[in-house]
Chains A and B, each alone.
Chain A
Amino acid sequence: MTKTTAPKKSARPKPTKANLAKEAKTPANAKLTAEELIGFYREMVRIRRFEERSLRAYQQGKIAGFLHLYIGQESIAVGCVSLMEENDHVITAYRDHGHALAVGMSMDECMAELFGKATGCSKGKGGSMHYFDPSKNYWGGHGIVAGQTPLGAGLAYGLKYQEKKGCALCFLGDGAVNQGAFHESLNIASLWDLPVVYIIENNGYSMGTSQERSSVHPEAGIAVRADGYNMNWAKINGESLFDIREGVKKAMDLARDESKPSLLEIHTYRYQGHSIADANHKKYRSKEEIDDYRKNHDPIILYRDYLLESKLLDDDGIKEIDLAAKEEAEKSAAFAEQSEFPIEEDILKDVYWEEDNPDQKQSEGRIFFND
C-alpha cells in the first residue's frame, strides 16, 4: 500500500563540483566589476554572521518560537537578488532572513524582529518567519508551506496588469512542491503568461523527510514537473554563485522580455536543523553528508577561494569583511536588546486600514469585540 520503508539515511545525489573560474565567464557574470564581485561575498558573509548571532540569541532565550536558519544556502538569495532591478520583486517562505538582508533590509531591524521589539521590520508582530519590507520589493516571509506561491503569481499578475517590465522571484522549498496551491499557481502562471520565476531551494529535506521520501521522480529532480505545465525549467548548482546568476538571469529575462514563467531548482544544503528546535537533524541524515557539504560544497568558501585565486581580495581583505560582518551582527543584537517591546495598544493596530486611518473611515458598526 505504501512505499515507505525502514528508516534510511538519504541517498541524495551528489552535487556537481562548481568551477567558479569557468563559470565567472558566462554572460551574466563576465562583466561584473571587482566591486560587485566583492560585494557579493560581503553580502553572503553578512547573512551568515547575522544568523550565527541570531542562533546565539536564541540559545540565550532572547528569541521565541522557531528560528529557521539559512546557513549553507546564502548564495541563492545573494545571487538572485543581485539580478533584481527596479520592478522586480521577491517573496519567500519562513526561511527568510537571507533574502531580507540581501534586498537591503538592515541587520538591526531584522534582529529586532527576532527579539519581538517594536523596532523590528514587522514591529515585532511577525517574528522570524514573517519579515516584510515592501519598500525593498520584499513581500515576506510566509509561514505556511507554499502559501507564498500564489502570491508570487499575484505579484507577477500585478506587474503585467500595470504594464511594468519586471518579474517576481518566488522562493520555495523542495517540500513545498507537493502543496496543491503551488500546482494551481504553476498552471495559472503558464496559462496567463505571468512573469514569475519560481525558485525551488532544494536542500534535500523538508524537515526530517528526504526528497526521495516525499516526491516522485527524484532522479530527474522536481523542476521537471514544469513540463506538465508547458513551462520553462532548469536545474542549477547552488554552490556556484555564478551558476545561480547565469541560470536565474535567463529565467528573469524570459519573464521580463516575454512575460513567461519559469521553474528553477537550485541544489543546496542547510547545515542546521530544520529549525533550531530540530535537535534530531543528525538522525535523518548522516554526519558525513553534512560534513561533506560544509567542507567541499560551501558556497561562501568556494566563492572566497575564487576571489583569492583571482586576486580580487587577499587574506586581509577577507578578514576585514568577516570582522565587519561580525561587528555589524553584534551591534544589531545590542540594538535589538536595547529596543522597546511594542505596547499593549499595539496589539489592535495594523489589523484594519480604517482603524489605523480614522480620517478615511467609511464603514460603521463595531469592529473589535473584546469588552
Chain B
Amino acid sequence: MPEISYRQALKNAMIEELNRDENVVIIGEEVAEYNGAYKVTEGLLKQFGPKRIVDAPISEAGFIGMGIGASMLGIRPVMELMFWSFAYVAWDQIINNAASVRYMSGGKINVPIVIRGPANGGTGVGATHSHTPENFIANTPGLKVVCPSNPYDAKGLMKSAIRDNDPVYVMESTIMYNDVGEVPDEDYTVPLGKAKVTREGTDLSLIAHGPSVLVCLEAAEILKTEHDIDAEVVDLRSIRPLDEETIVNSVKKTSRAVLVEENKPFCGVDAQIAYLIQNQAFDYLDAPVQRISAIDAPAIYSPPLEKIQLPKANVVVKKVLEIC
C-alpha cells in the first residue's frame, strides 16, 4: 500500500469526490491560487479550475453561510476554515443555521455541507488561534463532527463527510499534516460513528481522539516497556455520531479507563465518554475513570509552557500508574 501524508490523504479524498460528484465545490481563503494556507488544496485549482476551487475574501460568516444556503439546493460545498479558531466569526451560520434548518423545516430541507480545517494547539500561535471546538459542535444536535488521527482515517472520513447528507465538520491538525501512513489508492470510506481499537491491550483502555491518540500510543509504549502494563488504545475517530459499543466493550475488557483529549476539561468530549462508561460498564470498573485534558486556561503562547498545557505521554503514564 502506498504511504502518503495526512495532508495528501485529505487532498486525495477531495480529488476523488470532486471527480465523482460535480456538485462538490471547494471554497475558502487562499485555497485556490495560494494552494491553501497549509497546502491541503495544493494543485486543485490547476486540476479543477476556478468554478470548483474558489478563493473567498476573509468573510467566514458570509461564505460559510453561503455554502449552507447552496447546500440546500444540493451543492456539496467543502469549506475550508484556515483554522477552526476562525469559526467563531461564523458561529451563527455554523451552529444555528446549519444545525437547525432540517429540524425547523420538518425535515424538508437538508444541509450536506462539510467544513474542514485544523483545530489544534501546540504550534505557538496563542489563545486566539488554538481552539478545539469539537465539543461545542458535538453539543449541537443536527451536526456531526469527526477528528481523524492518521492519514488512512483522514481520507476515509473526509469522503464519508462529503457524501453525508447532513453537516459534517472535520477537525484536522496542523501538527499531523506531515504524518505519513498507509493509504489505499482505491475508493474506500471510513464510516462516521465507528471508533477503532488502534492498539489491543488488556490492562486498561486509553480513549482519545485527534492528536491525543498519538499521545496515548506513545504512553502505551512506555507503559509496556517500562511498567509491563498492557494498554489498549481506542481512537474515537468520530465524536458525533459516537461509537458507544467499541468504548464500552473495551472498558468491559480492561476494567480501567483513562480518557485523553486536547479539549479543556469542563464539558469536554470526555465528560460525555466518562458518563457513558459509568452508565454502561459500571460493574466492570476496577477504578474510577480518569481524564487528562488541556490545562484549564486559554492557550498560553510561551513555547515550553504550551507543551506543559497540552496532554503529554508522561502525564498519561503517571495517571495510569495511579490506577493500575
Contact = CB atoms under 8 A, between A and B. Distances in A.
Interface of A: 1-2, 4-7, 63-66, 113, 116-118, 122, 124-127, 129-130, 142-147, 175-176, 178-181, 206-209, 213-215, 280, 283-284, 341-342, 344, 346-348, 351, 368-371
Given A209-B57, A346-B300, 8 more contacts: A4-B50, A64-B125, A65-B125, A130-B301, A178-B59, A209-B55, A348-B295, A370-B296
A207 B297 contact: no
A127 B126 contact: yes
> Top 9 closest A-B pairs, CB basis?
A64-B124, A65-B124, A127-B301, A116-B302, A143-B128, A208-B34, A124-B302, A178-B57, A369-B265
A289 B109 CA distance: 49
B128 A4 contact: no
B73 interface: no
Interface of B: 29-30, 32-35, 37, 45, 50-51, 54-55, 57-59, 61-62, 85-86, 88-89, 123-129, 264-266, 290-291, 293, 295-298, 300-306, 308-309
A4 B298 CA distance: 38
Contacts of B125: 64-66, 127, 129, 143
B116 to A, nearest CB: 18
16 contacts: A4-B54, A65-B126, A65-B129, A118-B302, A124-B302, A125-B126, A125-B302, A126-B126, A127-B124, A129-B125, A130-B127, A143-B125, A175-B58, A176-B58, A213-B33, A347-B308
Contacts of B61: 179-180
A185 B85 CA distance: 21
B177 to A, nearest CB: 13
Contacts of B296: 348, 351, 368-370
Q: Please indicate which of the listed interface residues A63, A118, A127, A175 has the most CB atoms of chain B within 10 Å of its own CB.
A: A127
Contacts of A142: 128
Contacts of B45: 7
B304 A116 contact: yes
B50 A5 contact: yes
Contacts of A1: 51
A344 B308 contact: yes
A130 B301 CA distance: 9
A129 B231 CA distance: 41
A178 B33 contact: no
Nearest to B305: A342
Contacts of A178: 57-59, 62
Contacts of B126: 65, 125-127, 129-130, 143
Q: Please indicate which of the listed interface residues B124, B296, B297 has the most CB atoms of chain A within 10 Å of its own CB.
A: B297
B51 A64 contact: no
Given A145-B58, A175-B57, A370-B295, A116 B86 contact: no
